[in-house]
Structure 1
Amino acid sequence: MFDDRTETQPRFLPPDAPVMVAGLRHAVFLTPDGEVEEMPLAAAAKRARAQRPIIVHMPATAKRLRLDGFIGHDLLELFAFVRPAQFCVPTPRGIALATGQVACDDLVGQAQALAEAMKRLLQELAVLPGEKRGHALSIAWPMARGQWPWGVSVLAAMGADGDGPHRFAVYEGLKIWKKLGEWSEHAPPPPPGNNPVEPAEARERLLKLLGEGAEERPQQADYSSAVCSAFAPRTADGAPNIVLAEAGTGTGKTLGYVAPASVWAEKNEGAVWISTYTRNLQRQIDGELNRLYPDPRDKRRKAVVRKGRENYLCLLNFEEAQRPLAQQPRQAIPLGLMARWAAATRDGDMVGGDFPAWLTELIGARFTSALADQRGECIYAACPHYSRCFVEKTVRRARSAEIVVANHALVMVQAALGGLDDASMPTRYVFDEGHHLFDAADKAFSAHLTGQEGAELRRWLLGAENKGSSRARGLKQRLESLISEREELRDAVNAVIVAAQCLPDQGWLMRLQDGVDHASGPAEIFLAHVKAQVMARASEKDRGYSIETDCKPAVTEVLASAADLDRALASLEKPAKTLIKIIAHMLDEKADELDSAERQRLDAAIRSLERRAIMQVAAWRGMLESLVDATPAEYVDWFAIERQFGRDFDIGMHRHYIDPTLPLTAALAPTTHGMVVTSATLRDGTGDDMFDWGVAEDRTGASHMPLPAVRAAMKSPYDYRKQTRVFIVNDLARDNADQIAAAYRELFLASGGGALGLFTAITRLRAVYERLTGPLDEAGLQLLAQHMDGMDVSTLIDIFRVERDACLLGTDAVRDGVDVPGDSLRLIVFDRVPWPRPDILHRARKAAFHGARYDDMITRLRMKQAFGRLVRRAEDRGVFVLLDNRMPTRLLGAFPEDVDVQRVGLKEAIAQTRAFLHPEL
């Protein structure tokens, strides 16, 4: 492919391939000389295999063509190379907009836009300045050698046609860690002060953030004043000041709480942690902070986005992923795209930061998310890239920041462990999306004695046992340099490794499919008997899905194998505790011998062992003991076989707190001085104000805190009676897939797109999707669907947000993650009343929290959240339709008081939807 010529002038050398855009039923090809041909998808699939077309999003295109895959020129790869760490919606329309073109809706116009986008992107490479051009070239060479379809065009655009670097140095450009800056240590900051924030100060800061000429929002100013109570000095040990603040959609709560939070941070030289449930909101808040810190350098110093280590690129994993390149040169393509991003990223965040989610869909998790420290294998100061580590940089920036934007998951882990990294804890929190605190705490404080969890702990302790391509590092490898000359430490590590072999080994699930006789070790034998008990007590209708059963009364085989496993876990717990004692003794006795790097590694080893081994094993042993003894009253236990698409993927015993806010408040109260819990949907909607606020306090843990919470509620400024319509369709057979699909079809057509279809079950989503593709394609409406399009939820939502007339089908993850202001979302259709799933955990919570009212509360909350997505701006209009005539009147509190809820037939719902959204017709 390459000759020995050296660099020349940049040249435009596009691939000799047509542009292809695939619709739902037809595809368009645009040849290099401008000829256009339209054909059915089946014919397009054959041509795509033969001609390596220029496309957008290979996996989605292949799925639409019903192909397992084909070779093509994906413009998203070119975009990721030319504009690393920049946002682009992964569609032809998105590419057109990102390259400065006017987007076109028809397939021919989209194909022409893609041809122009390719030209513009290659031209950008041609004018790169010296240093940037050199860096891009050093990465393009190995990618081209790996047969990257864009290789020739990219090298030509940068004026490089020759053989490039010497073959021994061809991969040097991928070693981006050599080009990253290092962090430096600073003295720890003093504890923050205790100066309060006065409401007048908060209002003044709010005005400054809004800027001159901003519309007046009295509710926003009142909200900002109300949350100031959380920034008052604490008056008693272990008794934080709490504000529960419900702010209707449109109040402007983000700037409303940023105003007092930033004033407090400045006055007291401390950090306020703002925590969200979804990464989408985390990203939005980070954007809003540009108002507070307009200078990017100032913002980088004072505002930090914090996530768990598993969200960031690990440079050591990235280096190790490059080792097979000499034997597998094609891997330079995905690694080159990652290198381009890593050199340009703000902070190395691969989940919701500046990393395009669609890149994982293009090159696979192996070269993206799997390069993060997802398994807790960090070796800290022993890592050769420690001083350049993205995580360590973020941790150190957060120590001196004023605003830290975190997420509930990280805050829960931090609370459970008494601190992260340096064991420090914030004193001030703002929990946005506060209605999710209960669920976040539930995930953080639960325990699972399952095959996957056990195998994960074994791998964390032993590392890769079959030395293949796995990069897994075990305990011995992580402490290798420290134990080499310390016999006592080496023996303790070996004792842990020997004891850990009681845990499930690789291939455990397949062995359990063959029965208990094939199980290996006490953990697998226990899981085999658990599986047998679950299957024995399952009903026929459950057998294709995840199934569960009560633990008690446990069958004899379960009790016997549980006792054996408990003894084996005790044999693991003992040496693990001994190892921690030895490490702690070293830190004390050899304080004058250990350098900073060794001390940091030993500290990290203690924290990791306590979290990954001691706490987990202790929880498992408590669960096993309760099979014979009484289960503690605060817990609920059960056995389960977890399934996906009819196949088992995990088996085991589960334990959850009935009220997970109990451990949450116990963890937060000692160190927290003040916290704001806010959302548009904190209260229930029964109409009984005392009860509704009581629900808010129960769901957030405020009812367990020593001091009563300050309650504040601000109404939405929107006129919902004028801006929205709510219809409950009363003449459909809810179990008839054809009728439900017809309702979705006609309602989507009536709205002209901009429609979100929500489902309470994936099976019904799939059935409706198959029936909608043809009619919507004929109407020129793009149909997107969770689980169907080869894209993750965040990518689908990004597309839906930009494609004004698209329709999106999804489940809970879409309902919670979508935030689409404007006309792109003007219709929401719910297939059924979203009752909670009646499983064992729900049964226990229903008994503890007001019985049937608990079901109603969860259902109202889900509909309230969905309805709240319709109107995000003063000019928005939207329709909410529920296709379930069994909607009880008592659940109508999910909607604003001024909304007129109408029970109508489908025909009338369609007509009114069309008339309301398109009055001009």
Structure 2
Amino acid sequence: MRALVVGVRGAVMVDVHGEVRSLSSAQARRTLSSGIGGKRPHGPVLVCHGRATAKRLDLETIHVLDVLELFAFVRPARFCLPTARGVAQELDLPIPATMAREAESLLGSAAALLGQLAEDAPLLGRDLAPTAWAMKQGGWPWADYVLAALGVDPGRDTPHTRNLLEGFRVWNKLKEWEERPPEGPPGHDGVAPDEARARLDFLLGAGGKAERRRQQSDYSAGAAEAFTPMAAEGRPHFILAEAGTGIGKTLGYIAPASVWAEKNAAPVWISTFTRNLQRQLDGELDRLYPDPDEKNRHVVVRKGRENYFCLLNFEEALARLPARPQDAVALGLMARWAQFTRDGDMIGGDFPAWLGDLLGRAMTWDMTDTRGECVYSACAHYKRCFIEHSQRRARQARLVIANHALVLAHAAMMEATGGAQRDPSAPTRYVFDEGHHLFSAADSAFSAQLSGREGGDLRRWILGAEEGARSRSRGLKARLEDLIGDDGKVQDLIVDIRKAAHALPGVGWLQRLSGGQPYGPAETFLLCVRDQVYARCAHKRAGGYSLETPTRPPVDGLFEAARDLDDALRALAQPLGALAACLADKLDDEADELDSAQRARIEGVILSLQRRALIPVKAWRAMLDSLRQGETPAEFVDWLSAERLGGRDVDFSLHRHWVDPMAPFAEVMEASAHGVLVTSATLRDAPDSENAGWLAADRRTGARHIPGDVVRFAHASPFDYAQASRVVVVTDVNKNSADQVAAAYRELLLAAGGGALGLFTAINRLRTVYARIAPALDDAGLALYAQHIDPLDTGTLIDIFRAEPNSCLFGTDAVRDGIDVPGSSLRLIVFDRVPWPRPDILHKARRQAFGMGAYDDMLTRLKLKQAFGRLVRQQGDRGVFIMLDGALPTRLTTAFPEGVEVLRCGLKDAIAEVRGFLSAP
């Protein structure tokens, strides 16, 4: 066995005898290419993250031993960084400092993992051997090593080979959930400021080393206002609380929230925008509930259904294994994870994102309920379902850690149904952390899109897999047939629904549109959308970017196509609505006959009909009606688009967004919530006027639509930014010159010695700069990671960057908003240019409604404020913020903390400033 680590310019290989060889990229490429599909003359090659290794060497596939696959098998549902250093650290081995040491550590890590298997063999061998045997049949390179460690002869037929799938049937090893009686209504006891302060003191003491701060205590006392009893119907307590970095707002709002939940026997939902903060919140609650079992009872992390592993999807994938034996490797690793996962959460839970990168989407993330085809109690795994577990636990919990997408999806459902889908057990108290993202989250939740992809998804949801389709969709009839029995009326409605669904885009719709041969009213309409977009944007088509155009004036045929599609959607909506009504009547008429599981299933189907069909069809018809009438309601913005990827069409759409999506958000909060706390480090804008700053916060959080008084307070950061940071605007770099921008990045990152975050306003510029400077940084021993280049998800890239103090990371908006890297790992931020908002149709409408140029300035300042806020995260942090765009207006520099010096100078002086400031004691 040999271990290989690949850099930007070359590679290092180490064999089991300790011999080290330096290889060029070409030599490494030949080494890995020579053994694809067969045995290598010098033994197998061990790497860490085979896909990343292959990409770095410009190879499509490689046949290697990947230490991450072995880690996932031996330590399922455990996290490690997908690097040689990360694996070594998790195994408590020495952390390697050079490429040669990294290669050596891979050998050590593999030996340690196989050694752990050997130690566990007496207890686990009976369970693990069948799984390893099945994975061996799928060609898993590790199978023989694993079986040998388990004490099984890989060359002999044994009892383990006679039922290879037994180890994959993970549902047999999972606990069933039990129904509990419904909770009573929540109490109405408030939380006094002193109670919040006392609970905060307890939380700080529980951690042992936490620092007590007056600002944090005052913040917690102010947050308690959201947990006072509501005095009048429809007038919830609405609190806007800005807490500068370092205040400690997380524990600050957990304190009053946890007190209220205990006093009133009801949950508080804490909503965040990023998965990173969900994980951080979950970790912080160890202070409140140090006993894992108690925490499991009182704390639940909730996400949408599409985040959770579906056992039925997994079982169906197993059924295809005889025809696809190569899938055994991925399915075996997924079975290992599913047996040990805390809650089945695949998106930000304990599922390592790098495992999805290695195994591919089809065998990992597509195992979630992304298609909305759950059969509820008809599923053989219903009593063990991760989603059902999570939902039931949330009803009994004290604190539910959710995300904006889930909370606002529920809000959108209520808004669309006029409150008809209001859950009696729904929360009445909310905390929205990362509140500066509420506007964009609401924008997504309350929008509508009539597109080929959306229409095709609905057709597939109704009809199931059609001939020529690569889908395992079951269709509406298959999901309902055992539920409706011989009910002739319902059967007739399903026939009508299936017939009407053929008006939606079918398999191959995009190819038909490309050839100008649409089939059915939906495809005909989409072809007219395509014609209008390209008629108005023909000069931009060669650029490969997505295109958009207003709905008016229409091209010939667009109105007629809209009318025909509206007629077809009406023919679909009528039987869909009648089916939902029939199922609701069934709940009433057979109330004395239906058991709990049957009732839950019928209620689930009604909810699915609303969410997946009736609500979108209603929105589509409203959009088509506006198109035909030639006038969009004043509160909305409509437009047409062609989505393009890699220079080719992938979808065509009619869009509708609220001009102000916080209006429906506020309407739902008014109807359902008793108390809402919206908090962030960057709620306010930072113009010259204090009142203008809060006006911006009101607009972005919906406070201006809330009836009654809104409480606003802010606590400044305790950090001395004037001493801890510098802002430099480089005035002599041409931002339109790739050569100059790349050279500036290279020299600034070298001057800082790594620990640098490069932020870009366009992916193409990121790719260009990366390609030009990565070799130079590699020569200097600085690792450069990049979003959109490295085959790793953004969260994993940030984790690696945080763990390697001298590495560098390039990214776009997702990195700017979701990164939390305290300490020296982040000491330099370089922004390629002023992040002005993109002047698309939606932004133009909002700009006109919200203040023209002042609105642009506000959005840009908030982006700068968010980016700068990444730099100093704890006492002792120091850093420099560089803007490579000399056109940064002075009025935007109020985004930076008061007292921070803004230096405008040339690149040479900027490099000297970085080197001098970061090296000073």
TM-score scaled by structure 2? 0.96
Task: Map Cα deviations across residues 804-856 of structure 1 (whole Å, 9 max, x no partner).
Answer: 11111111111112111111111110000000000000000001101111101
SS at structure 2 position matched to 1:525? helix
Residue in 2 that maps onto 1:28: 12
- Choose the corresponding residue for 2:213, options 211, 217, 232: 217
2:917 alignment counterpart:
916
Match of 1:195 among 189, 196, 211: 189
Q: 1:536-595: per-residue Cα shift (whole Å, max 9, x none)?
A: 111524542111100011123111111110111111011111111211121111222222
> 2:87 corresponds to which letter in structure 1?
I
Residue 632 of structure 2 aligns with an amino acid whose one-letter code is T
Please, which moves more after superposition, 426-435 or 542-551? 542-551
Distance 1:56 1:667 in 2: 48
Determine whether 1:61 maps to 2:19: no
How far has the Cα of 1:423 moved from its partner?
5.7
Higher alpha-carbon deviation: 409-418 or 220-229:
409-418
Is there any run of 5+ residues in structure 1 with no aligned partner, and where? Answer: 1-16
Q: What is the deviation of 1:359?
A: 0.4
Question: 1:90-134: per-residue Cα shift (whole Å, max 9, x none)?
Answer: 011111111112222211111111111111111111111644333
- Give me the whole-angstrom Cα distance separating, in 2, the residues matched to 1:808 and 1:444: 31
- Measured against aligned partners, the alpha-carbon deviations of 1:521-542 in whole angstroms (never above 9, x if no partner) come to 1000000011101111115245
Aligned to 1:500: 501
Q: CA deviation at 1:463?
A: 0.9
**Structure 2: how far apart are the matches of 1:384 and 1:661?**
41
Aligned match for 1:107, one of 96, 99, 114: 99
The residue aligned with 1:179 is 173
Shift of 1:467: 6.9
2:321 aligned with 1:325: yes
What residue in structure 2 maps to residue 393 of structure 1?
389
| Deviation at residue 469 of structure 1 after TM alignment | 5.5
Q: Structure 1 421/658 Cα, relative in aligned 2: closer, same or farther at 3 Å?
A: closer
What SS is found at the alignment partner of 1:664? helix
Aligned to 2:526: 527
Alpha-carbon spacing, 1:480–1:423, altered in 2? closer, same or farther (3 Å): farther
Secondary structure at the aligned position of 2:837 is classed as coil
Q: List per-residue Cα deviations over 1:661-680 (Å, max 9, x = no partner).
A: 11111112111000100000
- 1:468 positional shift: 6.3
Residue of structure 2 in register with 1:559 after alignment: 559
For 1:129 and 1:295, locate their aligned partners in 2 and report how far apart those are by CA, in whole Å.
30
Give 1:71's aligned residue: 63
Residues 437-446 or 585-594, more deviating:
585-594
| CA contact 1:421–1:604 (8 Å) conserved in 2 | no
Match in the other structure for 2:606 = 606
Does the alignment pair 1:244 with 2:240? yes
Rounded to whole Å, the distance in 2 between the matches of 1:430 and 1:652 is 35
Distance, in Å, in 2 between the alignment partners of 1:166 and 1:214 is: 52
8 Å contact kept, 1:549–1:638: yes
Match in the other structure for 1:762: 763
Q: Tell me which amino acid in the other structure corresponds to 1:910.
A: I
Give 1:417 shift.
Answer: 2.1
1:213 and 1:357, CA in 2 relative to 1: closer, same or farther beyond 3 A?
A: closer
Matches within 5 A, 1:418-567: 418=414, 424-466=425-467, 470-515=471-516, 518-538=517-537, 540-541=539-540, 543-544=542-543, 545-567=545-567
The aligned counterpart of 1:260 is 256
Between stretches 66-75 and 130-139, larger displacement belongs to: 130-139
Separation in 2 of the partners of 1:289 and 1:480?
Answer: 45
Whole-Å separation in 1 of the counterparts to 2:460 and 2:110: 45
- Tell me the equivalent position of 2:279: 283
Q: Output the CA distance in 2 between the equivalents of 1:130 and 1:263.
A: 47
Q: Does 1:159 align with 2:143?
A: no
Q: TM-score, normalised by structure 1?
A: 0.96
Q: Sequence identity of aligned pairs in percent? A: 56
CA–CA distance in 2 between the matches of 1:773 and 1:511?
43
Task: Tell me what 2:622 maps to.
Answer: 622
- 8 Å Cα contact 2:433/2:678 also seen in 1: yes
Counterparts of 1:173 and 1:116, CA distance in 2 = 28
What residue is the counterpart of 1:298 in the other structure? 294
User: Runs in 1 of length 4+ with deviation above 6 angstroms?
Assistant: none
The one-letter code sitting in structure 1 at the alignment partner of 2:102 is Q
- Paired amino acid for 1:155: L
Cα 1:166/1:767, change in 2 over 3 Å:
closer
Separation of aligned partners in 2, 1:840 and 1:567: 28
Task: For residue 509 of structure 1, report the CA deviation from its aligned partner.
Answer: 1.2
Which secondary structure does the structure 1 equivalent of 2:321 belong to? helix
Is 2:308 the partner of 1:312? Answer: yes
Does structure 1 residue 774 correspond to structure 2 residue 775? yes
Structure-1 separation of matches of 2:347 and 2:281 = 15
Q: How does 1:578-617 map to 2 (within 5 A)?
A: 578-617=578-617
Partner secondary structure for residue 291 of structure 1? coil
The 5 A counterparts of 1:353-372 are: 353-372=349-368
Matched residue SS, 1:585:
helix
1:657 Cα deviation from its structure 2 partner: 0.1
Q: Distance in 1 between matches of 2:338 and 2:121?
A: 19
Question: CA separation in 2, counterparts of 1:57 and 1:726?
Answer: 37
> What is the deviation of 1:763?
1.0
Conserved? CA contact 1:313–1:348, under 8 Å: yes
In the TM superposition, residue 145 of structure 1 has moved relative to its aligned partner by 2.3
CA deviations on 1:591-640 (whole Å, 9 max, x unpaired) are 22222222211111111111211111111011011113221110000000
Q: Provide the C-alpha distance between the structure 2 equivalents of 1:712 and 1:133, rounded to a whole number of angstroms.
A: 59
Q: How far has the Cα of 1:862 moved from its partner?
A: 0.7
For structure 2, the 5+ residue unaligned runs are: none
Instruction: Give the Cα–Cα distance (whole angstroms) in 2 for the partners of residues 542 and 329 of structure 1.
Output: 43
Using the alignment, how far apart are the partners of 1:578 and 1:201 within structure 2?
52
The aligned counterpart of 2:576 is 576
1:638-717 → structure 2 map (5 Å cutoff) = 638-717=639-718
Query: What is the rounded CA distance, in whole Å, between the counterparts of 2:157 and 2:485 in structure 1?
Result: 45
1:707-856 matches, cutoff 5 A? 707-856=708-857
Contact 1:823 1:876 in 2 (8 A): yes
In structure 2, how many angstroms separate the alpha carbons of the residues matched to 1:377 and 1:822?
A: 46
Q: 1:32 Cα deviation (Å)?
A: 2.4
Tell me the distance in 1 between the aligned counterparts of 2:130 and 2:259. 47
Task: After superposing the two structures, state which structure 1 stretch, 554-563 or 337-346, moved more.
Answer: 554-563
Partner of 2:21: 37
